Structure 1
């Protein structure tokens, strides 16, 4: 844990000394009529801590060109944004009046609506070196910037939407205060805007909430906690992994390691974002992709165990069906990942799972779950050894729930506000993965896995076998009673449910192989206090 804290401390030291929130910078060509900038969730305002809990939007919007009419910076909540945004596609002569028809009911304007109670609008661009025209009280403006919005909502958290639009109010007497489209003035505006939760000068109170949209509050803590737990599990897993190298354990190790790497990438992105308002977006996307790879590798691991590969059989039967299902599942997840990067509408409150690729991926997950159950049931009936039966019972019971949880969670999340949905799905998904890894580490601990894994590559210490009671069985003569009378030159042919099928093994009349601790029908070699699962005898 101390190592993790040191890593984060180093990252923070490399960031700028002044912390800000979501940072928007760019240029807008006014001939494009409308530009949606962002959606930002502001927290609920506490009346007793108004300054430290209100939302703040501040920045500069300027131009190097000469301009004759002002355009509009619009900041509204979802109640007013839906109509405003929806009418942008009307004819040019009708778009502006219809977009602002509902906003004008409450928006303040010193000339056209002096009784307005909401501070929704700013005339832009602002004059260089001065405040925006609508900023009539300079003390309310953050020092060094041209405009400031203060968002206060004492009822609940809420999304607010920020846009630029080529509309202006007519000042002629015949059509005074009528909204018109700016057709003739084509200039570029430079904007530099910050959005934060709380007082910008008090960011130290909670830097990993102050800088983030409300739906991302606590995400840093979620990544950090899961990264710490997974790292601890991985350290624990190294003991059984190094004690008993195996193809099955190799795949599981790859899944856990890639999960940790993906979480670390997201953790670094979120940490840097808290300090510069941009983060490292490519690193966050890379982290999500690595997590996708981890999930697909883990799904392959589950398929192979359900087939009994390296547990009841060395051969992998019906592999074309297995890899076809796994390949399709991986492809669907890849399509969903790309769709989420390019097609999900930021304005809407839908997430990646509420899209056609999301629905298809969840439906196919249920299909492979059915195949998983069928294969697991078939494998279960192949083995008669009680330890294998116990393993498959525990394995099947838990991972059946693991298959089902995500579709159920997504279905329930449709009833959860978008302000809470992302972190709810993220935290529960992480919890399911962590619990899955913990269960598998328990099931594959050497003291247990020696009873049902075959083709082990590394010797197991004697004390690991003592825990299972297998070593005591080796010392009893009745362990050899599974065979009939063993005589010199007689072939031995039996099925050992512990280590697989053995046939045509020769035993000499003196029983020297028994005296050396070798089970002729099993492939377990006990020499000098070390038990070896002997591949050559399988």
Structure 2
């Protein structure tokens, strides 16, 4: 069956979206224990905040829930490890297929730290739970019912006064035998689990619901996206008023991109709101939010190229020019593919921002191509400009646009040097939103930069403003039908440079 390019892209996107529907920290599911199954599986990766020594109970992390089965036989171990220990286990797991006793090597690093009343009574860390737990009863390791969250069979308390850290919740097919040696489980048992991971005591979730359910690196993002939504919504209404006062193609196109950004922030805000109250939300919300944002940014780059390409006349015929019309369509399709491919990408089971993935770097390469096109057209526009005042403005306009073109690329390089705990907030926000409790995070870089760029364009293209009349209206003496003279002038510049 022959497929058109658009049909192929559509099927490709459906394939990528189909496996990335739900992201949650209320972990619900089932797992088959048994000797022929995988040795270890990761249930969740979650960053717990720094514990406040003054308010231990309200600031420590909690993992609680139920793991049940129709069988009463102990079939597996529920294990809690931090990021550094998980990296060691991952290295051991990669080579475990060569070992005759893989469980001994896998669980060895944990056995040096974790308490087990029969085999490791001198260790102090509470990392183990034998599962399944008895029906309608606590797990065997829970010796004090007061430490268990009501309605749960087990609870882990994560207390770290040194700083925030990623923790991993694992299920392993390994058990301790009567000689305290680790062996593979021979029990083919299906385990059903319903587990919550939260920052702060579960009974105090109402104090700050926008931090309680969220992993540390995603805390405060609800306030960030909600504030960004309000900012861009106000800007979109201003641009709508601008379009009503004087309709121009450039103003209508800019309004369309602003509406896309507003929809993107709205979807992100709704995702965070739903996650805050239910611990689960559809990843499709954030995916479509990212799609709106990335396509709007790509469209804005094309719009800026159109402005300098047609300077100072209308951009009405820009997309009809084969070179940039085709390039615009291809770049838009590539941006959609890159955004969908990057969705759900993880490193050590930690979700990554698009800028940290290979599709994100391909998107940066496309952005570099657009930057080169903008610089080339800006050079032509400056050379054909006869007014010194307009030429100075064009140079300043181009310089400001260039900063917006390249800042994401610089940020993508710099962010790789920053710990994973802080990357997401650095990419998505800025420190300036102190009024919204974001004073402790470095957030808003992308949002703030984009808002400044869109605000500047709304101001420049405002009908009957001094700048719009002075710089964006072509003098009557130089107007040519269809811009043919500008094309001839551009070709003469190219010919001169080639000599």
Q: Is the 8 Å Cα contact of residues 73 and 132 (structure 2) preserved in structure 1?
A: no
Within the candidate set 36, 45, 51, 1:45 is matched to 51
Match of 1:84 in 2: 89
Q: Verify the 8 A CA contact 1:272 1:278 in the aligned structure 2.
A: yes
* Cα separation, 1, equivalents of 2:181 and 2:319: 75
Unpaired segments of 5 or more residues in structure 1?
1-20, 456-493, 504-538
Output aligned runs, 1:80-229, within 5 Å: 80-89=85-94, 90-91=96-97, 93-171=100-178, 176-182=179-185, 184-229=186-231
TM-score by length of 2: 0.82
Distance 1:63 1:285 in 2: 35
- Structure 1 residue matching 2:101: 3-state secondary structure: helix
Q: Is 2:480 aligned against 1:501?
A: yes
Aligned to 1:257: 259
Question: What TM-score, normalized by structure 1, do the two folds share?
Answer: 0.76
Deviations 1:234-257 (A, max 9, x none): 222222221111111111111000
Per-residue deviation, residues 56-106 of structure 1 (Å, max 9, x unmatched): 000000012x24333111111011111223323423743211111111111
Alignment of 1:303-318 (within 5 A): 303-308=305-310, 311=313, 315-316=317-318
Tell me, in whole angstroms, the C-alpha distance in 1 between the residues paired with 2:250 and 2:152: 59
Q: Are the counterparts in 2 of residues 329 and 361 from structure 1 also a CA contact under 8 Å?
A: no
The secondary structure found in structure 1 opposite 2:272 is: helix
Measure the CA separation in 1 of the matches of 2:198 and 2:106.
27
- 1:397 pairs with one of 399, 410, 418: 399
Q: Which range is displaced more, 354-363 or 234-243? A: 354-363
Q: Deviations over 1:500-525 (max 9, x none)?
A: 2389xxxxxxxxxxxxxxxxxxxxxx
Give CA-to-partner distance per residue, 1:275-324, whole Å, 9 cap, x none.
00002332222222222222222222122112126726764499333234
Deviation at 1:156, TM superposition (A): 0.8
Q: Distance in 2 between matches of 1:254 and 1:318?
A: 19
Partner of 1:443: 460
**Equivalenced residues, count:** 437
- Equivalent residue for 1:8? none
Q: Distance in 1 between matches of 2:314 and 2:269?
A: 40
**TM-superposed deviation, 1:432:** 1.0
CA distance in 1, matches of 2:83, 2:232: 39
Residues 309, 315 of structure 1: 8 Å contact kept: no
CA distance in 2 between counterparts of 1:230 and 1:368 reads 24
Q: Is the 8 A contact 2:318 2:324 kept in 1?
A: no
Contact 1:265 1:286 in 2 (8 A): yes
User: RMSD of aligned C-alpha atoms?
Assistant: 2.4
Match of 2:32 in 1: 29
- Aligned pair in 2 of structure 1 residues 147, 38: CA closer, same or farther (>3 Å)? same
Contact map agreement 1:349 1:418 (CA 8 A) in 2: no
User: Per the alignment, in what secondary structure is the counterpart of residue 280 of structure 2?
Assistant: coil
- 1:502 and 1:276, CA in 2 relative to 1: closer, same or farther beyond 3 A? closer
What is the DSSP-based 3-state SS (H/G/I as helix, E as strand, rest coil) of the residue aligned with 1:127? coil
Q: Which has the greater radius of gyration?
A: 1
In the TM superposition, what whole-angstrom CA distance separates every residue of 1:147-203 from its partner, at most 9, and x where no partner exists? 0000011111000011111111111xxxx1111111x32221110000110111111
User: Which stretches in structure 2 are left out of the alignment for 5+ residues?
Assistant: 1-23, 430-444, 483-499
Q: Check the 8 A contact 2:74/2:132 in 1, yes or no.
A: no
The range that moved more, 80-89 or 53-62, is 80-89
Supply the distance in 2 between the matched residues of 1:283 and 1:348 (Cα, whole angstroms).
Answer: 19
